[in-house]
């Protein structure tokens, strides 16, 4: 019996997560389970198995007063260990947990209402700091006023009042809402048996043991963070260091420094996270890193790109990172998490596809290299199917990816028709049931290559978006636009997937079209409703958008027309390239090579209203340049979060403001509706109270250095981006809504 098998022999009898934690608490009560590092790196919280068990019993005892087993509770937590205790509190009481994120504005509040209505929530669980905000949002969005909001961080006693509850293996543990549409969310029903099976699969795939060490920043309300960074270490019995997604977005070097300092063997995230490190970590910051300990750098939740892995491996080779540590994998919430993965410490195979999406020989002109996502483990099965004829295809043939096994969940909550269609598919031969993933791929020598998506789904930085949601937003944002006659689709731009909008104009509006006003309305509406920055908007003539004979928008034909320049365009806007964006917003790498700003010199000569107007113009110039807009007249009372920024652009803006003016501003404020006038007034007040700030340009922030724990000397001067997701939300799922937009705000 090998080390992997012996590691979990003692928990083989566990049929639920409740039994698992009770076992850990009984036999290893003082072993550290979780360490949470604050955003500033200067403090940390720890939790061992005994403490987690005690807190879970305290929370469960309180829940058992008001809830019956099987009732649902929404978990609305910012980053931190409170979520972990509340999750197990629900399990200990038999209450089905529904992980979400605390609302930040009316849009997020509306999603909270939709989820609560969909699962018929009995109550909400959160922290004392979040309770008031949640109650206000419940009132604003018309949620049932009888649903109580409980602060679990106040439930720190009463563990002896818990009435022991041991769920059955097929009982639901939690409902994971899939990413994408806030208006049509689908709750995946995950049982205890699903979780324990998938955790066993992950352990075998990653080769993890009690000697392993993890680091993670993924939001815990998202399946990748919940299953991979929270429950997997608990299942195997090794500790993990956690920190917030917003801290990663703001200072990606913190991720690698924690890996280096704690000698982590396993850590990962969506593909964009590795690109983010390459673009934002300086040579000086690399100097103290030792990544030779990193054995499993898992890469999933969005398309895995060979170019990204090559860039990251080259950028951090001097830090001891080994390219073989990259672990491309494939999974989804409907299979609990993991479906296939590479061999540990083995270079991933690649294959070429030509422009038509079929396999091509290596070296074929314009062919794209696709990365193998490995193979299934244990009893998991993957087949490639002709989705029309329902026939299994041979190796090398591209079709829809179907899968089966004990990790496949129980279906969608309260959606029997969709459950039947998606989870109970059968081949023409009758073999099944299989889960239809909706993704396309092929198998070569037993390994899965994911080539695209059969369904029209857009994945940006790990977060999923449904095109029809975006199209509905666009079609109703301005009277000059023809509703139901637009298309949203992804293109690849500088190694990232970005969104293009093609939209018809009403015939009556063509003659007097104010294209700048209309395009601005589109960009602002998409940014506000979906927290998404589009890279291009094309307005086209009435009745010219490609449609099927039944009137459905042909998004693929729109994309082809856009790329070939054959659309009947009446106006068009394109965002500056990402490289130009970072230069304009003042990324640290570029700032080192640029002359110092003249802001301090110009500000020193002004005062009063003149200084206020100067600040407004200065900030507006930075904002409009970053958004690719003509500066024009400032919009002083327009909330910045409606102008078209995405999360990374927000981070750069606040850092630029701090560097140029000395003002530290929280991005939570920006995301909550701060206007240009508010920002300018804050800068003005800062200069009034700190006159020396007018005479200097702030130096570069110091390179982060680790000393001995718990005093991690991370710089704390950077802005707090608050809920950005996750979707980095948000990081994929509208819950990762993260992946990395809509992130949980800091306490």
Do 448 and 523 belong together in one domain?
A: no
Does any domain span residue 736? no
Domain hosting residue 406, numbered range: 349-453
Q: pLDDT at position 590, please? A: 43
Tell me phi and psi for residue 342, to 5 degrees.
Answer: -75, 175
- The answer to the question of residue 536 being in a domain is yes
Q: Are 248 and 183 in the same domain?
A: yes
In a domain, 687, yes or no: yes
Both 432 and 567 in one domain: the answer is no
Please report the pLDDT score of residue 721 as a whole number. 30
Q: Where residue 621 sits, what CATH number does that domain have?
A: 1.10.1200.10
Please check whether residues 232 and 86 belong to one and the same domain. Answer: yes
Q: What digits encode the pLDDT tens for the residues 293-308?
A: 999 999 987 778 888 8
Q: Give dist(CA 580, CA 549) in Å, integer.
A: 42
- For residue 441, CA distances in Å to 158, 270, 338, 341, 438 come to 52, 19, 16, 14, 10
Residues 524, 669 share a domain? no
DSSP summary character for residue 523? H
- 615, 684 in Cβ contact below 8 A? yes
What pLDDT, on a 0 to 100 scale, did the predictor assign at position 685? 77
Sign of CA dihedral 392, 398, 400, 403: positive
Are 553 and 630 in a shared domain?
no
Residue 343 belongs to some domain of the structure:
no
Q: What is the mean pLDDT of each run of 10 residues along the chain (747 residues)?
A: 68 95 97 94 91 98 95 95 98 97 69 88 94 83 76 93 96 86 76 98 96 96 93 97 91 96 96 89 95 96 86 96 97 95 92 66 65 94 95 93 98 96 96 94 93 76 76 90 89 81 93 91 84 89 78 82 91 69 40 50 73 81 67 71 62 70 64 73 73 39 30 27 31 32 30
Q: How far apart are the first and last CA of the chain?
A: 45
Q: Is residue 714 part of a domain?
A: no
- What per-residue confidence (pLDDT) applies to 525? 86
The DSSP output letter for 228 is I
Please identify, among 576, 609, 643, the residue that sits at the C-terminal boundary of a domain.
576
On whether residue 340 sits in a domain, the answer given is no
CATH number of the structural domain spanning residue 405: 2.30.38.10
- Give the sheet arrangement for strand 381-386, strand by strand: 391-392, 381-386, 399-404, 435-444, 447-453
CA distance 42 to 711: 5
107 and 202 fall within a common domain: yes
Tens digit of pLDDT for each residue in 615-629?
A: 888 888 777 766 656
Residues 146, 244, single domain; the answer is yes
Checking 668-671 for CB contacts under 8 A at 24+ apart, the result is: 668/104, 668/720, 668/721, 668/722, 668/723, 668/745, 668/746, 669/722, 670/640, 670/641, 671/104, 671/105, 671/641, 671/721, 671/722, 671/723, 671/724
| Distance (Å) of CA 731 to CA 189, 459, 468 | 21, 10, 21
Return the number of other C-beta atoms located less than 10 Å from residue 541's C-beta. Answer: 14
Same domain, 520 and 443: no
CATH code of 548's domain:
3.30.300.30
- At 456 the three-state DSSP class reads coil
| Final residue belonging to a domain, choices 653, 676, 694 | 694
- The answer to whether residue 294 sits within a structural domain is yes
pTM: 0.72
Residue by residue, DSSP assigns 119-133 as HT-SEEEE-HHHHHH
SS3 170: coil
Is 690 inside any structural domain?
Answer: yes
- Among 426, 453, 480, the domain boundary falls at 453
- Same domain? For 500 and 565 the reply is yes
Domain count, the chain: 4
Q: Is 389 exposed, middle or buried (0-12, 13-18, 19+ CB in 10 A)?
A: exposed
276 and 384 share a domain? Answer: no
- 463 neighbors 733 (Cβ within 8 angstroms): yes
293 and 248 inside one domain? yes
């Amino acid at each position: 019996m090998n080390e992997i098998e012996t590691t979990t022999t003692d928990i083989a009898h566990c049929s639920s997560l409740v039994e698992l934690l009770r076992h850990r608490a009984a036999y290893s009560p003082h072993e550290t389970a979780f360490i949470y590092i604050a955003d500033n790196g200067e403090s940390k919280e720890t939790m061992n198995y005994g403490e987690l068990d005690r807190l879970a019993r305290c929370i469960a005892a309180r829940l058992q007063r008001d809830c019956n087993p099987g009732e649902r509770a929404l978990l609305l937590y910012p980053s931190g260990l409170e979520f972990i205790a509340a999750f197990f509190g629900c399990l200990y009481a038999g209450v089905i947990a529904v992980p979400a994120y605390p609302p930040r504005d009316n849009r997020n509040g509306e999603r909270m209402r939709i989820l609560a209505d969909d699962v018929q929530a009995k109550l909400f669980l959160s922290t004392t700091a979040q309770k008031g905000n949640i109650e206000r949002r419940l009132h604003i969005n018309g949620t049932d006023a009888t649903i109580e909001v409980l602060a679990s961080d106040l439930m720190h006693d009463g563990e002896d009042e818990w009435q022991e509850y041991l769920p059955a293996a097929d009982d639901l543990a939690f409902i994971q809402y899939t990413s994408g549409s806030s208006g049509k969310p689908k709750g995946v029903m995950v049982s205890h048996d699903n979780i324990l099976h998938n955790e066993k699969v992950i352990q075998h795939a990653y080769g993890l043991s009690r000697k392993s060490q993890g680091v993670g920043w993924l939001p815990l309300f998202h399946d990748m963070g919940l299953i991979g960074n929270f429950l997997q270490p608990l299942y195997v019995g090794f500790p993990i260091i956690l920190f917030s997604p917003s801290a990663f977005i703001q200072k990606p070097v913190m991720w690698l420094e924690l890996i280096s300092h704690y000698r982590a063997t396993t850590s990962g995230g969506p593909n964009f996270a590795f690109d983010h490190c390459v673009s934002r970590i300086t040579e000086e910051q690399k100097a103290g890193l030792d990544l030779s300990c990193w054995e499993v750098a898992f890469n999933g939740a969005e398309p895995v790109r060979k170019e990204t892995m090559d860039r990251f491996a080259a950028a951090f080779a001097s830090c001891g990172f080994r390219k073989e540590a990259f672990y491309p994998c494939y999974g989804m919430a409907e299979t609990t998490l993991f479906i296939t993965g590479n061999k540990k410490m083995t270079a991933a195979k690649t294959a070429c596809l030509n422009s038509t999406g079929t396999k091509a020989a290596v070296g074929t002109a314009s062919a794209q290299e696709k990365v193998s996502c490995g193979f299934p483990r244990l009893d998991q099965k993957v087949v490639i199917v002709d989705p029309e004829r329902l026939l299994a295809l041979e190796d090398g043939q591209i079709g829809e990816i179907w899968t089966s096994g004990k990790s496949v969940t129980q279906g969608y909550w309260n959606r029997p028709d969709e459950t039947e269609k998606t989870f109970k598919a059968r081949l023409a031969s009758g073999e099944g049931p299989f889960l239809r993933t909706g993704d396309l791929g092929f198998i070569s020598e037993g390994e899965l290559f994911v080539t695209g998506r059969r369904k029209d789904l857009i994945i940006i930085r790990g977060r999923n978006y449904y095109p029809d949601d975006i199209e509905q937003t666009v079609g109703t944002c301005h009277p000059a636009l023809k509703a139901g006659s637009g298309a949203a689709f992804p293109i690849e731009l500088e190694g990232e997937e970005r969104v293009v909008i093609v939209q018809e104009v009403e015939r009556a509006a063509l003659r007097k079209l104010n294209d700048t006003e209309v395009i601005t309305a589109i960009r602002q509406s998409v940014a506000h409703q979906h927290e998404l920055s589009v890279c291009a908007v094309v307005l086209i003539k009435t009745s010219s958008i490609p449609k099927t004979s039944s009137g459905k928008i042909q998004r693929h034909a729109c994309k082809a027309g856009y790329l070939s320049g054959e659309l009947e365009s009446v106006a068009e806007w394109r965002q500056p390239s990402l490289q130009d964006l970072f230069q304009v917003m003042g990324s640290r790498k570029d700032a080192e090579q640029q002359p110092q700003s003249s802001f301090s010199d110009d500000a020193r000569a002004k005062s009063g209203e003149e200084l206020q107007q100067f600040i407004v113009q200065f900030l507006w110039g930075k904002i409009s340049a970053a958004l690719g807009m003509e500066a024009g007249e400032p919009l002083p009372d327009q909330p910045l979060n409606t102008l078209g920024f995405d999360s990374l652009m927000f981070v750069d803006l606040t850092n630029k403001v701090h560097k140029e003016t000395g003002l530290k501003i929280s991005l939570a404020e920006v995301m909550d509706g701060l206007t240009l006038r508010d920002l300018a007034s804050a800068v003005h007040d800062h200069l009034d109270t700190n006159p020396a700030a007018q005479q200097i340009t702030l130096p570069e922030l110091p390179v982060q250095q680790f000393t001995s724990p718990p005093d991690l000397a991370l710089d704390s001067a950077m802005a707090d981006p608050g809920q950005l997701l996750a979707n980095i939300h948000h990081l994929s799922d509208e819950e990762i809504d993260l992946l990395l937009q809509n992130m949980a705000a800091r306490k």
